[in-house]
Amino acid sequence: QVQLVESGGGLVQAGGSLRLSCAASGLTFSNYAMGWFRQAPGKGREFVAAISWGGGRTSYADSVKGRFTISRDNTENTVYLQMNSLKPEDTAVYYCAADMGYSGRDSRQYVYWGQGTQVTVSS
């Protein structure tokens, strides 16, 4: 059975950094594009970043461009989200997801989802 397990969330002050990880199992990881989404309290799920199967193509939400970096290690079946210069508005539950195509920001195309990890940025 497919599992995506996020880790690395926590509480950080504004301006700080966190690195999220998402470990995948039960699927051929290198066959899937991967994405990160987030959901803040009272808001809908929002696209953050996506990366293609081999890592050669990435896309970002405008709100995180230049601050966040998505990467992947297909030997470790893991996708990462390096988050720098964090802002209070980055506070949300962060989810990773797997996509057989490269749908980028369209969450409806992602077939597997993790349970999420909480990121809280204090001002």
Contact, 94 vs 38, CB < 8 A? Answer: yes
Label residue 102 by pLDDT band (50, 70, 90): confident
Q: Which residues lie below 8 Å from residue 36, measured CB to CB, with a gap of 6+?
A: 20, 22, 48, 49, 50, 70, 79, 81, 94, 95, 96, 97
Residue 104 CB: number of other CB atoms within 10 A? Answer: 19
d(CA 45, CA 111): 15
pLDDT attached to residue 101 = 84
Mean per-residue pLDDT of the chain: 96
Q: Is the pLDDT of residue 103 over 80?
A: no
- pLDDT 10s digits, 79-90: 999 999 999 999
pLDDT tens column, 35-72: 999 999 999 999 999 999 999 999 999 999 999 999 99
Please give the pLDDT value at position 87. Answer: 98
Average pLDDT over residues 10-33: 97
